[in-house]
Amino acid sequence: MARIDELRLMTKIARLYYEENRRQSEIAARLDLSQATISRMLKRAQEEQIVRIRISPPPEIYSDLEMALQARYNLKNVVVVDCESGDDEQEIARALGLAAAFYVETTLKRGEVIGISSWSETLLAMVNAMHPISQQVDSKVVQILGGIGNPSAEVHANHLTTRLANLIGSEAKFLPAPGVVGSAEARRVLLSDSFVRQTVDCFERIDVALVGIGSVTPSKLLASSGNIFSPQEIDLLAQQGAVGDICLRFFDSHGAPVVTSLDERVISMTLEQLRKVDRCVGIAGGQRKHAAIRGALEGAWINVLFTDHVTARYLLDG
């Protein structure tokens, strides 16, 4: 076949397929060609630039930022949400919660063990935005940061685990211990408790971890829970270079763990355990957390990121 004849045929097939919305099988029958030939010609039409596909994202969709962040930090997936303000933490939490809810609803696989952190307003917004999953997924939801604290705040931590488990029709495994205890000895005693031990033993089997990313200065919800260090201890962390935490495990601006004696008082998944999780989903945004989110990415402690568009641009600068 002469090249002009090939180009003519490609053009005819492309018009039938893209402009008239004909099925490949219908085009094949009409032109007396095989369906394999139609498929091959459509591919060639793109290579010859007879067909040029242009993706036009709707407003408030930041696919360019998502792809750039994914490449920059070697992430599995990135979702960037639109927010009018880069420092309205409640607005950002709502937007991130809605996006993360859809992600969990659409990506959850049968039999996965899901870890969820406590004391996160963004994760609270996520579970409140989720819809029940009708298909039985036979999963398990594990609390990966101690959920015992001030009774007025503790309800939020347990609500996260309970509601997520109910929404996906799964078993909930609570971590019946504080996130921060008074001494290393108190931690050892709690870890010897059979109920605490059963949950901690699940950490190595987590398939999906849903975590917030905290700054060194605790959020209002975390502070109200009582699972925080003293101002002097927070100053010590800052002096050691800490910029943020995941599950109260701190790291510096390069993502390196900031290891102090305070670690021996925390009951949660460790950073190294989180690194082994197939999907560690960090859900955080806002100016207060910029350095913390960058540190988490630099350390590769998460491999899926949900954030706002202002933070996304910050993460790509420098």
Q: Would residue 54 count as lying in a domain?
A: no
- Same domain for 251 and 302, yes or no, is yes
**Distance (Å, rounded) from C-alpha 301 to C-alpha 284?**
14
Mean pLDDT (the chain, rounded): 91
Domain count, the chain: 2
Statement: residue 85 has pLDDT above 90: no
Q: Would residue 204 count as lying in a domain?
A: yes
- Same domain for 71 and 25, yes or no, is no
| Of residues 79, 173, 81, 170, the one with CA closest to residue 118 | 173
- Same domain for 138 and 10, yes or no, is no
Write the pLDDT tens digit of every residue in 258-307. 999 999 999 999 999 999 999 999 999 999 999 999 999 999 999 999 99
- Same domain for 27 and 147, yes or no, is no
- Same domain for 285 and 142, yes or no, is yes
CA distances from 26 to 30, 36, 195 (A): 6, 12, 63
Question: Hey, what's the torsion of the CAs at 82, 85, 86, 89, to 10 degrees?
Answer: -100
Neighbouring CB atoms inside 10 A of 152's CB total 10
**Distance (Å, rounded) from C-alpha 91 to C-alpha 85?**
8
Mean per-residue pLDDT, 16-30: 94
Q: Would residue 55 count as lying in a domain?
A: no
Domain carrying residue 23: 3-47
- Same domain for 115 and 35, yes or no, is no
Residue tagged 């406590």 (tokens): 118
Q: What are phi and psi of 267, to 5 degrees?
A: -115, 100
- Same domain for 184 and 266, yes or no, is yes
pLDDT of residue 81: 94
- Same domain for 13 and 133, yes or no, is no
- Same domain for 267 and 190, yes or no, is yes
Q: Would residue 202 count as lying in a domain?
A: yes
Q: Would residue 58 count as lying in a domain?
A: no
pTM to 2 decimal places: 0.85
- CATH number, residue 130: 3.40.50.1360
